[in-house]
Chain A
Amino acid sequence: MDQTGKTAQIGQAQIVERIRTALAPFLPPDAVVTEDMKIGSDIEIDSVEVFDVVMELEDYYDISLPMEITSDIQTIGDLAKAVEQQINV
């Protein structure tokens, strides 16, 4: 994968891994993050931190993730799906 993450096929698993990296600064070192976890409840970060994670992902994949899309996201899997959709538009 190149620096921007813009390669032909980026799978869900890779994106989830990237989300883990983006979340790391806001979570305890030993936190476990899985696709079915809910952002805000299972994963304790506030809305401001969620936006920071979103901006990280936008920059890494060179995509736009409008608030209207991200505000409907509940789980890590949802977020990964939204990223995947934007990469492939």
Chain B
Amino acid sequence: MFDELDKTRSIFRKFEPLAARQSAVLSSGEQPFGLRFDDVQSATHGRVNGRDILLAGTNNYLGLTYSRPCLDAAHEAIDQHGTATTGSRLANGTYSIHEELEQDLADFFGLPSAVIFTTGYQANLAAISALAGKGDHLLIDADSHACIYDACRLSDAATIRFRHNSPEDLERRLSRLPSEGARLVVVEGLYSMLGDVAPLAEFVEVAHRHDAYLYVDEAHSVGCYGENGQGVAAAQGILDKVDFLSGTFSKSFASIGGFCVSRHADFDFIRLMSRPYLFTASGSPSNVAAAHAALRQIRSEPELRTSLWARANQLHEGLVRAGFEPASAPGPVIALPRPDQETAVRQWNELLEAGIYVNLAIPPATPHAMSLLRLSVSAAHTSDDIDKIINAFSRLR
């Protein structure tokens, strides 16, 4: 019967523009969105269509997905606790390993409250939607990640956007708000698309001066920034002032899951009322154990950060020498704006042909409708790997 529905009632009608966009991208080669890897054999190498590919777009910043401690911890956790918890944290899904990871995260950041979630996406959804309720105001950076936007939609608070990385614009918008209700400002530490860093010290000053709390998503920066790997807030010397700091286990922590820590002990109450925390199963034992092993490595192996930054500087410098203009200063994310979508798609294919995988980012997923080739650096990249990447870029047509 569904085939007979007239076009205006077809549930799939809204996908038509997507199909057109998809075929425009596909016409120049491989499928850049959801490319199929035959397998991924290490933090830096995989195979596509039987060919060896050097991975330069996996957010595997510390390269720990194949580290011995992470592998061992994951294997052991499966043997001891099984493959899944099959339940919510509030019911049967809280094991000792979940609580131990929370305690160590609190200790790592030196903060009283730490809650882990099943994904980083859910961490933001859970924390932001629970913290900001009816009558409150959320103020979010215009370039925020989709999960921050989704969190705002789930929240009963009014959401106001301010211009990207602009404490002045935030201040203007804060000063227009009515005096009633709580205010929560949400920013990211390192922006994942362009690789730019937020001026957190200025944001926290403006926020607190206007009686607003500051929430920082450090999904891409924990493990990479700060002397101890605590992130951009720590690097800027204001970790003790940030009210809420969230992150993910899906990047530097070589697993899947997310967390939010706070200097406010009362943050723990979200466990009793936050829907994305309550109404989903807790992280699988192997994922929780791998994230915990990665946390220990982040704390005990500062050399991981040293290599990451050495490679990031090498790559940035090499790309500049090859005539490219990265969108931001050297860092774990290096984005190269391309003149238009066609060029970006074509060059993405040329790179894959040359054995290099990077991320293709095109509108509407990018700020200012940019088309980007996005690279992420890993501590597991060798100096030769980086040279190979630079070489491939310098040969692009």
**Which A positions have Cβ atoms within 8 angstroms of B?**
46-48, 51, 54-55, 58-59, 62-68
Decide: A46 and B158 in contact? CB cutoff 8 A: no
Is there an interface contact between B176 and A62, defined as CB atoms closer than 8 Å? yes
Known A-B contacts A46-B364, A55-B142; A64 and B160 likewise in contact (beta carbons under 8 Å):
yes
Judge whether B177 is part of the interface by a CB distance below 8 angstroms. Answer: yes
CB distance from A52 to the nearest CB of B (A): 8
Sort chain B's interface into a size bin.
10 to 19
Known contacts A46-B364, A48-B364, A48-B367: A55-B176 contact under CB 8 Å: no
A/B interface sample: 21 pairs, CB < 8 A:
A47-B364, A48-B363, A48-B364, A48-B367, A51-B161, A55-B142, A55-B161, A55-B162, A55-B163, A58-B160, A58-B173, A58-B176, A59-B172, A64-B176, A66-B137, A66-B158, A67-B152, A67-B158, A67-B160, A67-B161, A68-B159
Report B-chain residues with C-beta under 8 Å of the C-beta of A59.
172
Known: A62-B176, A63-B176, A68-B158. 17 other contacts (CB 8 A): A46-B363, A46-B369, A48-B364, A48-B369, A51-B161, A54-B161, A55-B161, A58-B173, A64-B158, A64-B160, A64-B176, A65-B160, A66-B158, A67-B153, A67-B159, A67-B160, A68-B159
Are B159 and A66 closer than 8 Å at their CB atoms? yes
Q: Secondary structure at chain B's binding surface: helix, strand, loop or mixed?
A: mixed
Cβ of B368: which chain A residues have Cβ within 8 Å of it?
48
Task: Determine how close the nearest CB of chain A comes to the CB of B24; give it in whole angstroms.
Answer: 16
Q: Determine the distance from Cα of A48 to Cα of B162 in the docked complex, in whole angstroms.
A: 13
Instruction: Tell me, in angstroms, the Cα distance from A63 to B158 when the chains sit together.
Output: 13
**B140 nearest in chain A by CB position:** A67
| Chain B residues in 8 Å Cβ range of A67 | 152-153, 158-161
Closest to A66 in B: B158
Within residues 73 to 114 of chain B, which ones have a CB less than 8 A from any CB in chain A? none
Distance between B67 CB and nearest chain A CB, rounded to angstroms: 39
The verdict on A64 contacting B177 (CB below 8 Å), with A51-B142, A55-B161, A59-B172 known, is: yes
